[in-house]
């Protein structure tokens, strides 16, 4: 079967606030992104995904949207977005936008009208006279009293992010209008934020008491699938677009239900199971990283779905070399081999291609992330020792991924001449694009070679996946197509390991080794045939 364009290309996620600042105000912008399109093309990227660039009060850095159809002034204008899409397409780079439709900002006119009971917006959100005992994803109570309305509204995330009520048909119409607006402007699809929690069950209507008792009422609830099928039939199917859904607590069966072609819902989803292998249930309850557990989760999803998404970093996750390894360039290269050789649409997060690491902050004063502050405050109320609280934040805060892109060894990593909105990691002096640009042994150079190989390899783009071994920090798997095969072996331990494999001819190695005898140094990876 012929592959789709989104199966043949690698995606690069851009966090606009932190990527490139064209006017030196300390905040990244659309013109900055445009100026780096040639860099992304040279890297080997075929799709870019922009975290929300829309108008927002930035309580959650753009994931609290006040106007879906206009651009945050710090980022530029609608004309700038038009130019970005046009310039990306000129370079054969597709553009995905973040579709955040579980909630809006309190500042959105829909909410302002709803709290005043102005039709047709009266029931655009979930209102109740008496709240349930839910706790939201950011560690707060999930209901907030609104004095204007005289009722409580539901917010599964921050207080400033009220949840939309999809039991109200006019909400569905309004959201479909947003999708059409951007697709008509040339966007090539959407990354769909927390897509499997849109539908909340046991709602008689938006005016009556809401009988909700727990997450079973909203995680992949039955009403979700007719809603997504409606979005697909009315909007998405009429465009050559790609959808990837972020899912909450999803298992492979939930993922199949969302992505099976005959169901006409989404193209792909992100799974999080491999990202939960260094914690207990929630990311803040830490446990030591286990390569075996990590590889087992990756293999499970490779074998469970016909087509996956594969990623190791994004705007909500810590940096992979710091999280899954020792932070060294060699570990960044080994992780690159893992990422780009698995079956599925691969996603790279900005700075991953130069081996950026977690922040080096010393206290909460440098943290901007609302989730991190809420969790730190909750841990304080629970009387956890400060060192434990800080370890939780230092290890898992979303700000780890959001430090400004490190372009050079100039002030602020060459991101901006002004003080950045979020403090730069001080290792920008050694880890930056300029330092790696012409270094054939750099992480950046390795990513470019590996992406070039992947983009030309039908086996890596289309081949089947089969696990070979998972032991002592070493993971090996096969990719095969039409009788041809590649074997990929990754040592994600810091110790030398010996394995027994039939394949010995080296196609590529993370260390530059040209031969393979079965021995892998710590954080070394090979592609063999």
Which of the residues are catalytic?
193, 246
- Angle, CA of 456, 346 and 399, to the nearest 5°: 140
Distance, in Å, from the CA atom of 470 to the CA atom of 480, rounded to the nearest integer, reads 19
481 contacts 493 by C-beta, under 8 angstroms: no
- What DSSP string describes 407-446? -SSSGGGGS-SSPPSSPPPGGGGTSSHHHHHT-TTSHHHH
From the list 117, 220, 106, 223, the residue with the least C-alpha distance to 163 is: 106
CA 112 to chain centre: 30
511 contacts 527 by C-beta, under 8 angstroms: no
Beta strands in 267-306 (DSSP E): 268-270, 279-280, 282-286
Contact partners, residue 4, CB within 8 Å, separation at least 6? 242, 267
Q: Which H/E stretch holds residue 497?
A: strand 497-498
Q: Which residue's entry shows tokens 């996946």?
A: 465
Inter-CA distances, 310 with 268, 341, 477, Å: 10, 9, 15
Distance, in Å, from the CA atom of 303 to the CA atom of 463, rounded to the nearest integer, reads 13
125 contacts 163 by C-beta, under 8 angstroms: yes
Q: Give 268's strand partners.
A: 244
The tokens describing 233, both together, are 């039939």
């Amino acid at each position: 079967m012929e592959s789709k364009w989104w199966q043949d290309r690698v995606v690069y996620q851009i966090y606009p606030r932190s990527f490139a600042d064209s006017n030196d105000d300390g905040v990244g912008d659309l013109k900055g992104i445009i100026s780096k399109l040639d860099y992304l093309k040279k890297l080997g990227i075929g799709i870019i995904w922009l975290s929300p660039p829309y108008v927002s009060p930035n309580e959650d850095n753009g994931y609290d949207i006040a106007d879906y159809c206009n651009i945050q002034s710090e980022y530029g204008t609608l004309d700038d977005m038009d130019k970005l899409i046009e310039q990306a397409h000129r370079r054969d780079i597709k553009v995905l936008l973040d579709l955040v439709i579980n909630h809006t900002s309190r500042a959105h006119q829909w909410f302002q009208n709803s709290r005043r009971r102005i039709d047709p917006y009266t029931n655009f959100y979930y209102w109740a006279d008496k709240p349930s005992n839910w706790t939201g994803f950011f560690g707060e109570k999930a209901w907030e009293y609104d004095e204007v309305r005289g009722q409580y509204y539901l917010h599964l995330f921050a207080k400033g992010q009220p949840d939309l009520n999809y039991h109200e048909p006019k909400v569905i119409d309004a959201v479909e209008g947003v999708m059409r607006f951007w697709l008509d402007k040339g966007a090539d699809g959407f990354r769909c934020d927390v897509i499997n929690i849109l539908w909340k069950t046991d709602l008689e209507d938006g005016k009556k008491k809401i009988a909700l008792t727990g997450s079973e009422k909203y995680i992949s609830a039955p009403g979700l699938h007719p809603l997504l099928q409606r979005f697909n039939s009315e909007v998405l199917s009429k465009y050559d677009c790609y959808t990837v859904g972020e899912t909450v607590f999803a298992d492979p069966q939930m993922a199949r239900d969302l992505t099976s072609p005959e169901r006409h819902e989404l193209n792909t989803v992100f799974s999080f199971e491999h990202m939960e292998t260094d914690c207990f249930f929630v990311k803040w309850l830490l446990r030591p990283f286990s390569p075996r557990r990590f590889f087992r989760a990756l293999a499970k999803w490779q074998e469970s779905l016909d087509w996956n998404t594969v990623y190791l970093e994004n705007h909500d996750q810590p940096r992979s070399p710091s999280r899954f390894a020792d932070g060294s360039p060699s570990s960044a290269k080994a992780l690159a081999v893992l990422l780009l050789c698995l079956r599925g649409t691969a996603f790279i997060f900005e700075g991953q291609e130069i081996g950026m690491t977690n922040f080096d902050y010393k206290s909460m004063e440098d943290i901007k992330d609302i989730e991190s502050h809420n969790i730190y405050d909750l841990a304080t109320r629970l009387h956890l020792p400060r060192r434990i609280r800080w370890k939780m934040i230092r290890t898992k805060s979303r700000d780890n991924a959001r430090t400004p892109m490190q372009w050079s060894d100039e002030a602020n990593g060459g991101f901006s001449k002004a003080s950045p909105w979020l403090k730069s990691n001080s290792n920008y002096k050694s880890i930056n694009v300029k330092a790696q640009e012409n270094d054939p042994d750099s992480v950046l150079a390795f990513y470019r070679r590996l992406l070039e190989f992947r983009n030309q390899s039908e086996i890596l783009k289309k081949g089947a996946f089969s696990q070979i071994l998972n032991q002592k920090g070493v993971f090996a798997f096969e990719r095969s197509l039409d009788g041809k095969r590649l074997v990929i072996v990754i040592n994600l331990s810091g110790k030398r390991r010996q394995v027994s494999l039939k394949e010995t001819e080296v196609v590529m190695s993370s260390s530059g080794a040209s031969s393979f005898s079965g021995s892998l140094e710590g954080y070394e990876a090979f592609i063999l045939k």
